[in-house]
Structure 1
Amino acid sequence: MISSLKITVLVENTAGRRGLLGEHGLSFLIEADNSRILFDTGQGMTLIHNGDILGVSLNNLDAIAFLWHELKSIDCRDCRVGTIFEIESIGK
């Protein structure tokens, strides 16, 4: 059972706050108890920028889950990732 859960939207079509950038795609940082999972990366052009504006570190991630079949990449040389896996999209 999860005792604490926090989901931060990092990438989305619209930018709901000054300084944030919107782009087609989604990215969420899911923090559950002591686990940090990055769910997808959007197109990768605004992820790090929006994370910086929101004060969200992409270091010390436990996993990155990619929504689509193709491999995506992000320019995050300091990220420490324990696991990378793919989730097949439903209805594609």
Structure 2
Amino acid sequence: MPSVVDVAGMNRISRAIYANAAGAIAGMVRNRGAAQAATGDERPLLTASMFGNTTTAVEHARGILEAAGYEVLVFHATGSGDAPWKA
């Protein structure tokens, strides 16, 4: 959840944002069992990250892993965690 304001003390904006974040976390914890039961999927999970130039290889590997009984979650390797050495 984006903080919107700098985390440098509490103010009316940050208090509202932190209250919303705490409520969201509490709701997810409270609903965890129902969410897990709703999926009905007991396959082991694996994750893979990919860039555009690795898409073909990751899709091929995912097919092999899914045939072996795994559920594969694919994430694109971009965004807030991408390449910290570029800073």
TM > 0.5 fold call: no
Higher helix share: 2
* Structure label with greater radius of gyration: 2
Q: Which has the higher contact order (CA 8 A, sep 6+)?
A: 2
Higher strand share: 1
TM-score of the superposition, structure 2-length normalised?
0.27
TM-score of the superposition, structure 1-length normalised?
0.26
